Amino acid sequence: MEIHGRKAIILGGTSGIGLEAARQLVDGGAEVVAASRSDANRDTASRTLGPNAVIREVDVLDREGLAALFTEQAPFDILVCAATGGPRALGPFLEMELDGFRGSFAKLWGYTNAVRLGTKLMSDDGTIVLVSGYPARRPSPGASAISTVGNAVEGFARAIASEIAPRRINVVSPGVISTPMFNLEPELRDTFLASATESFAIPRAGQSEEVASAIMFLIQNEYVTGTTVDVDGGALLS
């Protein structure tokens, strides 16, 4: 897919990986709509992306709001879903509040909302990219909710790829990425990221631009659908 002149909607596009994907699409000449529910992040995105992007407020769990955004921007060619949907539960499964475990699936529900409401308003050669995470296939104690949701996201993309063809859908699965999601003091943040990645084949945290470049690959390569691309520093090998 030629990026220049295409229209892209990035949900969760005002921070971290989503913001970097929006920036790379803008640099490629796409018309970009970056949307999120965070006022502060939308202000940051507006300064970062400048006049070449439209910034919108939307919550991926608000189906009416999503439908209105998609209708306003239709037709469009690219849909990237990088929104977390809400907080994610951590801790031993047998001690976890089940409502917390269930609440972690807000990410999946946001993605299914977006794909269900947006696909029919896309061009016939449109493409969708979802963001999962390496715990989907490398679970660790205390991360059962995150792992299960990641599995569901990747399975969802495989399950519907044939249904929505010729439109395409794929997933990027990041490792530990240095993004504002890790809201710690700089020294604590560096220590945490170093500890979290010391067993990886590439023992450092990844950068948003490294994940966004994989999103760009999946957007542009028209012979890829229903698959997951890992950008994890070798996390699955450790």
Average pLDDT per block of 10 residues along the chain, 238 residues long? 97 95 97 92 90 94 97 98 89 93 95 98 98 94 94 98 98 91 70 89 95 98 98 94
pLDDT at 39: 86
At 192 the pLDDT is: 84
Number of domains in the chain: 1
Token pair of 100 as six digits: 């917390």
Q: Which of 155, 169, 64 is nearest to 119 (CA)?
A: 169
Residue 121 belongs to some domain of the structure? yes
Q: CATH code at 121?
A: 3.40.50.720
pTM of the entire predicted model: 0.94
Nearest 5°: CA angle at 101, between 99 and 102? 60
Q: Please report whether residue 235 resides in a domain.
A: no
Q: CA-CA distances (angstroms) from residue 9 to 54, 76, 96, 195, 219?
A: 9, 8, 35, 35, 12
**Does residue 2 belong to any structural domain of this protein?**
no
Q: Would 148 be classed as within a structural domain?
A: yes
Does the residue 119 lie in any domain?
A: yes
| 158, 169 contact by CB (below 8 A) | no
